[in-house]
Structure formats: structure tokens, C-alpha cells
Structure 1
Amino acid sequence: MILVLAGTGDGRLLVGQLVAEGHRVLASSLTEYGGRLLEQEGACQVRTGALAQDGLAALIRQYGVRAIVDATHPYAERISVEAQEACRQAGIPYLRHRREETALPEHPLIHQVNNWEEAAGTALSLGETVMLTIGTRHLEPFVTAARERRARGRQTRLIARMLPEEDSIVQCRRLGFCPGDIVALQGPVSHQLNVALFRHYGVKAVVTKNSGPTGGTDAKVSACLELGVHLVVVNRFPVDQAAMGLTGAEILNLLRGV
């Protein structure tokens, strides 16, 4: 059994390719929606929900997992570290899928930062209406910074754009986002839709991760440059050099011998 931690479209593609090559695949997704998509790819077992290191170890033992393919989002650093450690303890291969990054142009509208607090400070300094296209896990630094600015009499509006999952909407409401400041849609979206959304909300700055072309970053870059909107990009976090990642083809080739 191959365990695929499938947090992206790349992960779903890998599941389908592994099944086509005759592997038995146990696929894991954080959300039930993701789990349904993995079932459509032919995984023989699908589990959903968050995983801790002890949960990974239990899955390895229960299903006789021979290798873990980590196709989680490039910014899901916790699960990647825990998967590496679980593989080390079990003595099985850990194969990290490498998602291509977007090559960011040198441009006064493009701002690269290294953490969420820096992103919040930078974005809110660039305009009073900021769209956050980063999911819901890292919204708090922006909410805190916006609250501080409002306390100083500075008008600030945050728009949260995220997956149309109940948990995501509940989290936004808990943090104080009103319904009119929540955009729930399944990404990635096109250049044209980004342009329409940024115009509709009068956005002055957008915050994104560098999720690469398949994650929609290229379309956000082009939309912002067309409209003259600032784009704040949170760089990927440093990883162990040994876990820099492999292409899908490299992963498939390595698993042919497992």
C-alpha cells in the first residue's frame, strides 16, 4: 500500500497515476470534499481529517504502508515534517512532490515577504482594501493588524477568499468577517475572474502564497499587473535540502521498485 497525502490537485493526479500502474493506494485528505475527489481517482482507501505523527504511524502499521508520497500544499509544513519523521521511524521511503513555483517578475507592484506577520504589515500599508487569497489558517495576523489600524482611525477592509467549506466560513465569521467580505469559491481561477473580483471589491492589495501555475499564482500576478493592484507574495518556507521534492514522473519511477 502506498499512502498519498493529497492536499492538492497534483496529489489527486498522482493517485490516479499510481492506481493506473497497479499500486494499491491509501489516500488522505484534510477535507471530505477532497476525499470524494480522491475516491473518483480510484484510491482503494480514503481517509479524511487532520493527521498527527502518531496517526501516520498507526496508518503505516494498519495498512502495511510501503512508502509515503507527500503531495500536500507547499505551505503545509507541519504535516510534511511529521510525515518525514514517521517514515524515518518506520524505515520506509518518504517522497515529497515538488510543485513548480511561479517566477515572480521584478516589479514595484510585486512584494515578496517571508512570514505572515510581515505580509499583514506590508499589505495593509499598501491600501485600505486587501483581498486575502491564502485560505483560513493564517488570517489572524491580518485581522489583528487591521484592528490596530482601525483603532488609530485608519479605514481598513479585509476580504477573505477561500474554499466553500463550512469550516472555512465558520472560521471567517469567528474572526469577525461579515458575509459581504467573504468570497467562497473553488480555485484556481482564471485571469479574467481575478480581474473581475479585484475590480468588484475595489481591491488595492492582494495577498497570496506562491502556489505556482497550477495553484493559480500566475493568474493573480497577471491580474494585479493589469489593474495596478499590489500583490504581496509569502515565499515558501525553507525545507530540508533532502526533502526539496521530486516531479510526479520521478515519484512514479521510484515507486516502480517499491
Structure 2
Amino acid sequence: MSAHVLILGGTTEARRLATALAIRPGLRVTTSLAGRVSRPGAVDGEVRVGGFGGAAGLAGWLRAHRVTALVDATHPFAERITANAAEAARATGVPHAVLRRPGWDLDDDWFSVASLAEAARLVPRLGQRVFLSTGRLGLAAFAHLTGTQFVVRSVEPPEPPMPPHSELVLARGPFTLADELDLLRAHRIDVLVTKDSGGAATAPKLAAARSLSLPVVVVRRPELTSAVRALPGVEGVLDWLAGVIPPEGACAADTCP
């Protein structure tokens, strides 16, 4: 029976990993997407969409589909999914790793906060026209700020509540430095709020803010527990999988028919 890798996806790194694995003979690759974006990018291999029903549901899926290895390649702020994956892996004994892109090297003059709520408390002291680049979830943390103008960029329209004085920009990255400079200047932005998602795709907004000497509020990413195997890139995950997946034609004791 072929080995089966389940990727909890939704990130650029998850798509790259699926592409690298899908071409390998004798290996089944499934990427699971949460379904929050109606038009996700193309993914190689099998794709499933929707939640599992918590850690217990994921554990049941791992058993039912004879998963050999589980890779959590979700967004660094997908805290609930990451916790459920770790619990399901412990319950089933399925080898498990987290593909987590490194965070940004933050400027010493920027403001590092622990949550969106803390960011919302800080923003009124820093500026009146805010580029809110935190994704379409969590905007409720800023909904009480009636004296602040927000520009909210999202791939799809966010759900309410939103800040009362908001302009929505629907756009899908990646964005260039020139794109970000144009946006900040056109909207007369005087403060940027974002999450430490890491990666090159969203870094130009930080470079643009630095170029214009704008204050930046960065929400720190949740910490992974020491028990979780965290790997910083696709190549590291491929190396780890090479030691986990049985050679072609063989199978692990608990995945043999």
C-alpha cells in the first residue's frame, strides 16, 4: 500500500510541498484546505476542502485514510488548526511536523504587540489613517475605533463587525514595493498594522512603510510548543519525510493492509 501524506495547506509553502511530492511514484498526497477562500490557487495532488471537526475528527480521518505523515503547513496564525493537528498526531501516532516560514526581522522602531486587541489600543496614539493588513478575520478588534480611518485590504469581503470608517480594497498578492508605496501614498496612510506572517510575498509593505518612515504595529505570531517539530522550509520537510516514509514497496507496520 502506498504511503499517504496529508498536508494542512493554504499557504504558498503548502502548494510548493504538494508539487514536490505529487511527482513521486507510489506516494499519495492530499492537501486539506479550510475553505475560507472561495477561489484558492491550484494545488497538485488530491484536495479536500472543509474542517475535520476538531482534533478528534482529524484523528479519525488520519486513521480512515491510512495517513503515513502529517504536515501542518497552515498560516502561522492558524493557532487552532495547529493545536488540533498536534493533538491528532499524538492520538494516532502519525509522524507530524509543522512547516513554519521564519518571521520577519522587525525594525527596532516598530511596535511589537501580542494581539489584535493590543494593536487596537495602540493605534489611536500613532496615527489617524491606518492601513489594516491583518486579513479579513479579526477586524472586530478595531470596530470600536470611531475616530480612526481604516483602509482594509483582503482577498474577499470580510464579515462584520468592521471599523465604522473603513475603505475596503479587494486584492490578491503578491504585491511589489511600488504597489505598496502607491497604496500608502494614495490613501495618505500614517500607520501600518499587520501580523508577523513572514515570507517574501507580503514583505514589500514593510519596506514601503520603512521608506516612508511610517510607524508599524506588528502582531507577534503564536509560539509553537517545544514538543512540536517545526521546520522552516519545504526542503527541510522533504528531508524529514525521507526519514519517515517507508521505501517504495514497503509500508510501516500500522499502515500495512
- Class of the TM-score when normalised by the shorter of the 2 chains: 0.7 to 0.9
**Corresponding position: 1:37 with 2:45:** no
Matches within 5 A, 1:224-243: 224-243=209-228
Contact conserved, 2:6 with 2:69, CA < 8 A, in 1? Answer: yes
Q: Distance in 1 between matches of 2:163 and 2:171?
A: 16
Tell me what 2:97 maps to.
95
1:189 aligned onto 2:181:
no
Amino acid at match of 1:27: T
The match for 1:56 among 55, 58, 66 is 58
Matched, 1:106 2:108: yes
142, 153, 159: which one aligns with 2:151 = 159
CA 1:177–1:126 in 2, change beyond 3 Å: closer, same or farther?
A: closer
2: distance between equivalents of 1:244 and 1:214?
23
Q: 1:20 to 1:214 in 2, by over 3 A?
A: farther
5 Å matches for 1:1-258? Answer: 1-22=4-25, 23-31=27-35, 32-34=38-40, 36-38=41-43, 41=44, 43=45, 45-51=46-52, 52-107=54-109, 110-144=110-144, 146=145, 150=146, 155-163=147-155, 165=156, 169-171=157-159, 174-176=160-162, 181-216=167-202, 218-243=203-228, 245-246=230-231, 247-256=233-242, 257-258=244-245
* Partner AA of 1:158 in structure 2: F
- SS of the aligned residue for 2:59 comes to helix
Change in Cα spacing, 1:74 to 1:201, as seen in structure 2 (3 Å) is same
Q: Structure 1 unaligned runs (5+)?
A: none
RMSD of aligned C-alpha atoms? Answer: 1.9
TM-score in terms of structure 2 length: 0.85
The count of residues paired between Structure 1 and Structure 2 equals: 236
Q: Which amino acid aligns with 1:195?
A: L
Can you give the 5+ residue segments of structure 2 that lack an aligned partner in the other structure? Answer: 246-257
Q: Tell me, what secondary structure is at the counterpart of 2:67?
A: coil
